[in-house]
Chains A and B, each alone.
Chain A
Amino acid sequence: MANERHTLTALVDNEAGVLARVVGLFSGRGYNIESLTVGEVDPAERTSRITVVTSGPPAVIEQIEAQLKRLVPVHAVTNWTFATDGVEREMALVKVAGSDRSAAKQMAAKLGARVLDDRGQATVFELTDAPANIGSFIEAMRPLGLCDVSRTGVAAISRDPG
Chain B
Amino acid sequence: MSQSDTLTAQAKPETVSLTGAEIVVRALKDQGVTHIFGYPGGAVLPIYDALFADNGITHVLVRHEQGATHAAEGYARSTGKPGVVLVTSGPGATNAVTGMTDALMDSIPLVVLTGQVATHLIGTDAFQEADTVGITRACTKHNWLVRDANDLSRTLHEAFQIATTGRPGPVVIDIPKDVQFKTGEYLTPEQVRHRTFRPKTEPEAASILRAVEMMAAAKRPIFYTGGGLINSGPQASAALRELAALTGFPVTSTLMGLGAFPASSPQWLGMLGMHGTYEANHAMHDCDLMICLGARFDDRVTGRIDKFSPGSKKIHLDIDASQINKVVRVDLGIVADAGKAIAEMVKLWKAKDKKADAAALKDWWAQIDRWRARRSLAYEASDALIKPQYAIDRLYALTRGRDVYITTEVGQHQMWAAQRFKFEEPNRWMTSGGLGTMGYGLPAAVGVQMAHRDALVIDIAGEASVQMTMQEMSTAVQYNLPIKIFILNNEYMGMVRQWQQLLHGGRYSHSYSEALPDFVKMAEAFGCLGLRASKPSELDAKIQEMIDSPKAVLFDCRVDATENCYPMIPSGAAHNEMILSALSDASVSDEGKMLV
Contacts and interface: CB of A to CB of B under 8 A. Distances in A.
Interface of A: 13-17, 20-21, 24, 28, 46, 59, 62-63, 66-67, 69-70, 72-73, 75
Contacts of A15: 2-3
A20 B145 CA distance: 14
A72 B197 contact: yes
Contacts of A67: 322
Contact of B326 (A17, A63, A72, A75): A63
Contacts of A46: 2
Among B2, B141, B194, chain A packs the most CB atoms within 10 A around the CB of B2
A72 B322 contact: no
Nearest to A21: B137
B320 interface: yes
Interface string B563-590: 0000000000000000000000000000
Contact of B138 (A28, A59, A66, A72): A28
Interface string B86-128: 0000000000000000000000000000000000000000000
B420 interface: no
A13 B325 contact: no
A70 B322 contact: yes
Among A46, A66, A67, A75, chain B packs the most CB atoms within 10 A around the CB of A66
B134 interface: yes
B133 A69 contact: no
Contacts of B324: 66
Contacts of B422: none
Nearest to B199: A70
A72 B141 contact: yes
A62 B329 CA distance: 12
B162 interface: yes
Among A17, A59, A67, A72, chain B packs the most CB atoms within 10 A around the CB of A72
Contacts of A59: 325, 329
B593 interface: no
Interface in B322-362: 322, 324-326, 329
Contacts of A21: 137
Contacts of B329: 59
Nearest to B196: A75
Nearest to A25: B138
Contact of B133 (A17, A62, A73): A17
Nearest to B158: A72
Contacts of B134: 20
B321 interface: yes
A70 B162 CA distance: 11
